[in-house]
Structure 1
Amino acid sequence: MRPTFAALALLAATATAQAQSPAPREGWSVHPTEKDYQTLVDAVKSAAGTQQLGVVTQAGPTAAAASRGVTIPGNQVIGLFNNVYAVRILGLSSAAMIEAPIRMYVTENPDGSATLSYKTPSHVFSPYMDEGGDDLAAAAAELDAKFDAVAKAAVQ
């Protein structure tokens, strides 16, 4: 007997609803917090400005899923960048600019807390180091410090 579409959709919704925040992995910075999801999203956006990083993009499936009747944990990707770095990096490696903006990821945990995760800028730009050289490595290191400061401020 073949499963119906409704049965498959229910299984997918159940599996998605139990999703966990990303586990630590190479090149990532993962910060579990006691903050709730929306508070952490707001804190990331606020902290970005203190590091001269603009919120360039925001996307997440939570609201769209809800409009379809599917409840999933809070899930938001927030793209941060600065035009000074964009111009600088573009001059070093046009291919590297595909990585901008660099994203921070806020996920809601089953207990109501939220986790902030992101790939470090040096990890994101590592495939372009042969082309961009020491200057790209320096820009990535500067961005590492800015993203670390955003994360530390947001999770406090």
Structure 2
Amino acid sequence: MKRVILATWLLTLILAAPLAAAPRWPDQGWQVASTSLAYDEMLAALREAVEAEGMFVVTEAGPTEAAANRGISIPGNRVVGVFRNDFAVRILRLSVPAMIEAPMRFYVTENDDGSATLAWKTPTHLLSPYMDAGGQELESVARELDDLFAAIAKRVAEVPK
């Protein structure tokens, strides 16, 4: 009898739980922009916006395609590393350990309705642990990068569907 009650209780929990809950993004240091763009459109718009702002896509990684190759279907999910060498040189001169944060990344996720979300940790948040060593100059570099990342996101958000 106890097993039947336990099984019924577990089945009720499973059926009552949503299939995919909306992600809860951290409050501190993150920027999140929901759009009406589809996942593939968002990736294309992001690549174009990065180039238009004079930055470079230097890395891309995501589990979606690899999972599909294994016969598993998951929503689109891609991390896009963005940077530029002149920022690398400036940061290295101010704080060698701070370069662990490069490239800085955008995170593109596919929502249940087919739209995509663009999220990123702000460069000032990423570089804040190194400000004691890098001082005002490092903070200035971080703010420049904040402005570039915001400009990239703005370009992406303005792409018509």
TM-score by length of 2: 0.84
Residues 117 and 22 (structure 1), Cα distance of their counterparts in 2 relative to 1, 3 Å cut: farther
Residues 56 and 88 (structure 1), Cα distance of their counterparts in 2 relative to 1, 3 Å cut: same
Aligned to 1:9: none
Q: Matches of residues 4-153 of structure 1 in structure 2 within 5 Å? A: 18=20, 20-23=22-25, 25-153=27-155
Q: Quote how far apart the aligned CAs of 1:25 are.
A: 1.5
Whole-Å Cα distance in 1 between the matches of residues 53 and 82 of structure 2?
A: 10
Q: How many residues align?
A: 141
Q: Do the aligned partners of 1:21 and 1:108 also contact (CA within 8 Å) in 2?
A: no
Q: Do the aligned partners of 1:19 and 1:73 also contact (CA within 8 Å) in 2?
A: no
State the AA in 2 paired with 1:32: S
Q: Secondary structure at the match of 1:123?
A: helix
Q: Quote how far apart the aligned CAs of 1:52 are.
A: 1.1
Q: Do the aligned partners of 1:93 and 1:132 also contact (CA within 8 Å) in 2?
A: yes
Residues 105 and 28 (structure 1), Cα distance of their counterparts in 2 relative to 1, 3 Å cut: same
Whole-Å Cα distance in 2 between the matches of residues 124 and 22 of structure 1?
A: 19
Gaps of 5+ in 1: 1-14
Whole-Å Cα distance in 2 between the matches of residues 117 and 75 of structure 1?
A: 11
Q: Quote how far apart the aligned CAs of 1:40 are.
A: 0.4
Gaps of 5+ in 2: 1-16
Q: For residues 53-84 of structure 1, give each alpha carbon's deviation from its aligned partner in whole angstroms, at most 9, with x where no partner exists.
A: 10000000000001111100000000000100
Q: Quote how far apart the aligned CAs of 1:140 are.
A: 0.2
Sequence identity (%): 53
TM-score by length of 1: 0.87
Runs of 4+ in 1 over 4 A off after TM superposition: none
Moved more, 17-26 or 131-140: 17-26
Pick the structure with greater CA Rg: 2
